[in-house]
Amino acid sequence: MNSRRKFLQNSITLAAGAAAATSLTGCGVENVALPKSAAEKNFKPGGPLPWINWAGNESCVPSDRAAPTNEDELISVLKGAKGQIRPVGSGHSFSGVVPTDQTLLTTDLMHGVIDHDPETLQAEVWAGTRMHNLTPLLDGIGQALPNQPDMDYPSIGGAMATSVHGTGIDFGSMSSYVAGLTLATPAGDLIECSAEKNADIFQAARTNIGALGVVSRMRLQNTKAFNITEVSKIEYTSDLLENLDKHFSENRNFEFLPLPYTNLALSVYTNEAKPGDKSIGEDDPKAVNQIREAFDMTAWVPVVGTKLYDKALHAAIDMDAVSTTRTGRSFQVFPHDRIVRFSEMEYTVPVEVGPACLKEVLATIEKKKLPLSMPLEYRHIKADDIWLSMYEGQAGAAISVHQYADLKYKEIFAEIEPIFWKYEGRPHWGKIHTLDAKRLKNLYPRHWQDFQEVRRTLDPQGKMLNTHLKRLFV
């Protein structure tokens, strides 16, 4: 059992003692069991199967499901579909980008590495390939993705479509690794594009949110396979913010996860591995449940509940002892298991206002006593020139807010979302937000209209637009 897990267990014990010591009574933090979606309630044996995303907050009952095994079949599906078409990957998007009651199309059966070049370190891959399957295949040919997010469940096509990202000032999102792609349009055309060929379609398609058609394959600009070492610590949020530029500039990758109602945060430093690096401790994917348990034991106490929680955590921690080291191949160390389901909102603000935005979010949670105990997440991403990338024209500070999947999130996110607007934040396309076309176009002044023109040209009938995408683009 590693030291971080001991800290969490100690904090629960202390929190329980603190709560028992007070004679005050009150209501517990509301724990709402996820109700069955309409898709589940209305399911009848033998009828269409419902689709539900990973977090459980989005669902649908498509009348048709398609799983083409090659580009000819993909074209046939697109041309033959009479109504709306929506592509789906692993279902790890929290926003409503997937649901449709008509044709749901997956490219899961179009997977693997097609070709590669050992000199340029480029590889052509099927877009339906899940990242956790792709990265070992790339390693087998001596290549690796330049950077990765902390989970590897999405398809590579889905990761590109929504600008999924990791962290690090020298690294862009997954969309920025794409050197070329093939797009299957709703009319059934296959369009090859790159910066040199069909450049406008390429710039639109690298972050396309599934609004242009279906990307069948892509050419990735990779790097040589490499090893990394990741060191996780418990530190003070105030100290991390004070030295933020130093942490980002001195480490290949850096991020931190501040805990609401306390000055504590989990910091994660990742660098290329050195000879002799060894793994110490173990990653604990259930840790967030232990944090929740400590919070729930104290937060219900009127007036002083969150203060008891903060004191319990500080009393339990040994700042020098709580540390975990993981070392190995990059594709093995970057991702972390996700076994605790949650809902997520993420906005990217200009990097220079990131710290101020984060401070205001944390202060608002505490001031309004919002029932959030799951850690937030703070990352930096390099600027790019991709039309609808959240990092188009500016480096970004991505700030994520999470809520356990069985707890209410809409009212809580509604309290926090306006703070991101204040700092001119751009929402992550695959995560929960409430913006529409009228407001989004002001966040992408250089290329919003360019994207719209390409979209209308490729899909004049709007076959790729579900309810959510109509709100985004119409």
**Where are the chain's structural domains?**
3-20+226-427, 38-106, 113-225
Residue 440 has pLDDT above 70, yes or no: yes
Fold that domain 3-20+226-427 belongs to in CATH = Vanillyl-alcohol Oxidase; Chain A, domain 3 (3.40.462)
Q: Do 212 and 459 contact (CB within 8 A), yes or no?
A: yes
What does the pLDDT average to over 255-278? 96
Give the model confidence (pLDDT) of 351-408 as tens digits: 999 999 999 999 999 999 999 999 999 999 999 999 999 999 999 999 999 999 999 9
Q: In the CATH scheme, what architecture does the domain 38-106 have?
A: 2-Layer Sandwich (3.30)
Measure the N-to-C terminal CA separation of the chain; round to a whole number of Å: 53
pLDDT confidence tier of residue 8, bands split at 50, 70 and 90: low
Residue 7 has pLDDT above 70, yes or no: no
pTM for this entry: 0.92
What does the pLDDT average to over 138-142? 98
Closest CA to 93 of 164, 178, 32, 177: 164
pLDDT confidence tier of residue 136, bands split at 50, 70 and 90: very high
Quick one: how far is CA 219 from the chain centroid?
22
Closest CA to 56 of 426, 408, 456, 466: 408
- Residue 290: the pLDDT is 79
pLDDT confidence tier of residue 6, bands split at 50, 70 and 90: low
Q: Which residue has the higher pLDDT, 42 or 363?
A: 363
Q: In the CATH scheme, what architecture does the domain 113-225 have?
A: 2-Layer Sandwich (3.30)
What does the pLDDT average to over 94-117? 97
Name every residue whose Cβ is closer than 8 Å to that of residue 457 and which is 6 or more positions away in sequence: none
Going from the C-alpha of 456 to that of each of 102, 211, 426, the distances in angstroms are 21, 10, 23
For residue 44, give both structure tokens. Answer: 């009848």
Average pLDDT, the chain: 91
Angle, vertex CA 456, rays to CA 98 and CA 73, nearest 5: 55
Q: What are phi and psi of 249, to 5 degrees?
A: -80, -30
Residue 22 has pLDDT above 50, yes or no: no
pLDDT confidence tier of residue 19, bands split at 50, 70 and 90: very low
Decide the pairing of beta strands 51-52 and 59-60.
Answer: antiparallel
Domains 3-20+226-427 and 38-106 share a fold: no
Q: Which residue has the higher pLDDT, 366 or 24?
A: 366
What does the pLDDT average to over 450-459? 98
What does the pLDDT average to over 301-317? 79
Q: Do 382 and 171 contact (CB within 8 A), yes or no?
A: yes
Identity of the residue numbered 340 = V
Residue 112 has pLDDT above 50, yes or no: yes
| CA count, 13 A, side-chain hemisphere, 5 | 8
DSSP codes of every residue in 408-448: --HHHHHHHHHHHHHTT-EE-TTS-----HHHHHHH-TTTH
pLDDT confidence tier of residue 312, bands split at 50, 70 and 90: confident
- Residue 23: the pLDDT is 33
Q: Which residue has the higher pLDDT, 281 or 370?
A: 370
What does the pLDDT average to over 292-297? 85
What does the pLDDT average to over 260-267? 95
| CA count, 13 A, side-chain hemisphere, 183 | 31
